[in-house]
Amino acid sequence: MTHGLMLGKYSLGVGDRFAHQAKAQLQACIEAEKAGVEVIPVWNKSNREHNIIGSEPASTRAAADAAVKAMGWKKPYFCDADHINLTTVDRFMASCDFYTIDVADAIGKAADAAAIDHFLKRRSDLAGTVRLEGVDQTFTITPAMLRATAEKFLHAVQEAGQVYRRIEAAKGQGNFITEVSMDETDSAQTPAELLIILSAIADEGIPVQTIAPKFTGRFNKGVDYVGDVAQFRKEIDLDVAAIAWAVKHFGLPFNLKLSVHSGSDKFSIYSAIHEATKQSGVHLKTAGTTWLEEIIGLAEAGGDGLALAKEIYAEAYAHREELCAPYATVIDIDPAKLPQPAVVAKWTSEQYTATLRHDQHSSQYNSSFRQLLHVGFKIAAKMGPRYLDLLESNEAVIAKNVTGNLFDRHIAPVFLGKPSPVAVLEHAEAR
Ligand SMILES: [Zn+2]
């Protein structure tokens, strides 16, 4: 469809809440290169995150550019305006070259009747049996299904078209990567719906390179996938095949691939993602996992770092309801499992890091503690220079954790097909 900026086969969305870890994150991509796989870094930060932290998109761009320069990275890299819409996109025009157009809020709002009829006429040949390549499966799209899907999604896709054209007018065609996301909604899209949605995206002329559907199962922040792994595998295989079919039949960009949001720490589905996307490639967004590694690094450092990590937990505990509210649908915290701040205050570095670090081998690992801190970055943002100064004085220990987490626990299983931390655990138990 267009020739301009292209996203490579494998890409990693890295969130850097406080814009201090870009070098450590890039180091993980450099290690990937040494291990034989090209992983393109994409620094993503949503409007919501910028608002909570009080930062501007220009700071993400500056940190990414500085890291690329310092590390001598010669391959592409991008800054992603994550989850933007018509009302929030303008702020990101100057600094970003990757736009995740979020249309989830428009799903279910009906497009006007004439537009729906026009779509149904134009795409009437979709009704019938679709034989997907690569999976031993066909699906049947009935005229009623086509209509129901258009009624549910066409308005949302039209809105994506408006946002796309606004960005194109500001930046010029081919000068940015476009993603369309529908993940922050209640129900998963079926592969047949995905196919129909992609036809509508093609009609809107959006040169989409990544698409983020909602998958079945829970993608909670910072913790493992909760759901039926075998079912997920079937679904992602069909999604990949539906995308390949759509590329061929609707003239979408040939490199169109899946984007997996809230993709950090979903260890139990990494081998499924790797197997399903070996040919097509995949974009994995990891966002908040880096912020948790900052806390782990501070706790590991001991002294002032450990004291601050404890203080952040105590504050997060005190404000847990307010911190959790915006993330209610993507966290599962058991309040009874949250340790009292007075208890945490007596912990050693080892106790704190073992409780927080996402190591399912460890009997000390506490997913409620981890999720509360995951949404607690507002506390650190309020601390301002007190937090940032400690990040700087403990750079080495933090960087080791940030790089190691991204490479060992994310890049290795997803892009290199190495066993994920969970598979290692199961293997050890089986022996
Ligand atoms: Zn998302």
pLDDT at 195 over 50: yes
d(CA 410, CA 402): 11
Ligand 1 center–CA 45 separation, angstroms: 10
- Region 267-271 average pLDDT: 97
Tell me the CA–centroid distance for residue 274 and ligand 1, in Å.
20
What's the longest Cα–Cα distance across the chain? 68
**CA 153–ligand 1 middle distance (angstroms):** 18
> How far is CA 184 from its chain centroid?
11
CA 367 to ligand 1 centroid distance, Å:
21
* pLDDT band at 431; cut points 50, 70, 90: very low
Ligand 1 centroid vs 121 CA: distance in angstroms?
32
Q: Quote the CA–CA distance of 262 and 287 in Å, as a whole number.
A: 7
> 186: CA distance to ligand 1 center in Å?
13
- In degrees, rounded to 5, the angle at the alpha carbon of residue 409 between the alpha carbons of residues 66 and 134 is 105
Q: What pLDDT is attached to residue 426? A: 54
Ligand 1 mean position, distance from CA 104 (Å): 10
Spatial CB neighbours of 352, under 8 Å, sequence gap ≥ 6: 299, 306, 309, 310, 344
In sequence order, what are the residues at sequence separation of 6 or more whose Cβ sits closer than 8 angstroms to the Cβ of residue 128? 140, 141
Q: What is the pLDDT of residues 6-34, one digit of tens each?
A: 999 999 999 999 999 999 999 999 999 99
Question: Has residue 423 got a pLDDT over 90?
Answer: no
Nearest to 221 by CA among 290, 274, 321: 290
431 CA distance to ligand 1 middle (Å): 38
Asked if residue 5 lies in contact with residue 34, where contact means CB atoms within 8 angstroms, the answer is no
Nearest-angstrom CA–CA distance, 145 and 27: 47
* Alpha-carbon span 61 to 79, nearest angstrom: 6
Averaged pLDDT score across all residues of the chain: 94
Q: How far is the CA of 216 from the centre of ligand 1 (A)?
A: 14
> How many angstroms is it from 183 CA to the middle of ligand 1?
6
155 CA to centre of ligand 1 in angstroms: 20
Cα(265) to centroid of ligand 1, in Å?
14
CA of 212 to the centre of ligand 1 (A): 8
Interatomic CA distance for residues 375 and 280, integer angstroms: 32
Residue intervals in the chain for CATH 3.20.20.70? 10-287
The torsion angles phi and psi of 5, rounded to 5 degrees, stand at -60, 135
Mean pLDDT of the region 145-156 = 96
- 112, 118 Cβ separation under 8 angstroms: no
Nearest to 214 by CA among 255, 278, 260: 260
Ion ligand 1: residues, Cβ under 5 Å: 183, 261
Residue 382 carries which side chain, given as an amino acid letter?
Answer: K
Tokens matching residue 45? 């930060």
CA of residue 101 to ligand 1 center, whole Å: 10
Beta strands in 173-313 (DSSP E): 177-181, 208-212, 257-260, 282-285
For 290-312, what is the mean pLDDT?
98
Q: How far apart are CA 424 and CA 418, in angstroms?
A: 10
Q: How many whole angstroms from 16 Cα to the centroid of ligand 1?
A: 15
| CA neighbor of 225 nearest in space, from 262, 174, 189 | 262
User: Distance, CA 52 to ligand 1 centroid (Å)?
Assistant: 16
- Domain 10-287: assigned CATH number: 3.20.20.70
What does the alpha-carbon distance between residue 338 and residue 370 come to, in Å, rounded to a whole number?
9
Residue 430 pLDDT level (bands cut at 50, 70, 90): very low
Confidence of residue 331 (pLDDT cuts 50, 70, 90): very high
Cα of 222 from ligand 1 centre, angstroms? 13
Instruction: Tell me the average pLDDT across 84-111.
Output: 96
Instruction: Give the C-alpha separation, 100 to 160, whole Å.
Output: 10
What φ, ψ does residue 283 adopt, rounded to 5°?
-110, 125
Q: Give me the pLDDT at residue 6, please.
A: 97
Give the C-alpha separation, 321 to 265, whole Å: 24
Q: Ligand 1 centroid vs 181 CA: distance in angstroms? A: 7
Residue 12: CB partners within 8 Å, gap ≥ 6?
A: 28, 29, 39, 40, 41, 42, 283, 284, 286, 406, 410, 411, 415
How far is ligand 1, taken at its centre, from the CA of residue 144, in Å? 30
Answer positive or negative: Cα dihedral of 43, 48, 52, 58: positive
* Rounded distance between C-alpha atoms, residue 91 and residue 81, angstroms: 9
Residue range 392-421: mean pLDDT, rounded: 96
Question: pLDDT tens, 27-58?
Answer: 999 999 999 999 999 999 999 999 999 999 99
**Hey, which residues does 140 pair with through a beta bridge?**
129
Residues 361-373 have pLDDT tens digits of: 899 999 999 999 9
Q: Which of 199, 198, 213, 104 is nearest to 159 (CA)?
A: 104
